Copies of this chain bind each other. A is one copy, B any other.
């Protein structure tokens, strides 16, 4: 397809150039079609309001833009490398169908602010999905923590048995971790919720456009101000999102690493439903927990995407740079990987069953060394003396019922006081916040398409 900006045959860019620059991003551009339409309708509406389009022209454009969504959903509107990108394809469609009216849609905007709008709306949608999935995972961990609250297990430091722990403490730790991660995600959500539309190529446009109007039409909570910063913010806000996703993957990666160790023959603390396992082509007996190994590896991948997104942007001068194009894929993929991971964890956790017998057997008497020292402390010995006394004679440690110890460790956040019901309450409030965001966004889009 001849590109909008191509002035003549002679200067047409080579296909190797298109391929090098645009091919990789095409898949992701196909994911932006609906958002590009939303942004275009809002923009056209504003052009009508400021007198650049007549109402009739706006109506025509809107109708055909909605038609693009219909075609897209039927698989009849897909972007190919020769189309360059979703924006060019959408404009070309309008021009083909509407002639001169179509030629007006791009008045007062640039693909630079257009892609920003698309990515912000796309990200909003995905973030709302991630919140939903993450809340379900938190719920899942809390339920498991409640169910196995007082099942003792060895607690480890330095990968060595340290002190008594519980399946409850272990499960609940991931719930609390995710809730903190979601704080970071909320801040990135907030940064993402700014409208870049109207910033043009980075220097605004010498037309009396109404940026507040388009921001409202699209449900953004504010206009992102400085037009030059709008462009600078593209890789930065994407990075802020990825940074929060990295934190979530790290939480889940720890769970994966634990589970891989706890399901070795040697530990054998948990049973995993075989539906989550894979086999070997050579060894008849194998049941492998590939999913947890992949989760472990994918975490490093997303951390690497964080690195790539930051490095690409770090050395760039002000203004739009085509380097931004390479940040699209890590952004989109970071979302997809995190969503899939949450969906998986959501069903793996409830399927785990602790091998209570093995867990009990694994708890060596030495786990009680600190507790024994505290018993001496209660009798008046200084802690350091008690520590040395027990250390010098580990055999003197008395066997005590582990559940007793767990219940005795009942200060805030100890295994005997996990605070699960408070956590459920907090979760409920978080869900309400998300619900509100979701409902508002949906309402805005529905109104736009009506």
Contacts and interface: CB of A to CB of B under 8 A. Distances in A.
A103 B382 contact: yes
Interface string A154-185: 11111111111100011011101100110110
A231 B162 CA distance: 14
A125 interface: no
A450 interface: no
Interface residues of A, number: 197
Given A12-B275, A276-B13, A415-B204, A158 B110 contact: no
A350 to B, nearest CB: 14
Given A180-B233, A276-B17, A283-B201, A288 B160 contact: yes
A113 to B, nearest CB: 9
A74 interface: no
A231 B165 CA distance: 14
A379 to B, nearest CB: 12
Can you tell how many copies of this chain the complex includes? 4
Interface in A1-45: 3-7, 10-14, 16-17, 19-21
A4 B281 contact: yes
Contact of A264 (B160, B188, B230, B277): B160
Interface in A283-323: 283-291, 293-301, 303-308, 310-323
16 contacts: A16-B340, A91-B281, A108-B383, A110-B282, A111-B280, A162-B280, A183-B187, A200-B282, A206-B371, A225-B413, A230-B413, A232-B254, A283-B369, A284-B391, A299-B314, A311-B314
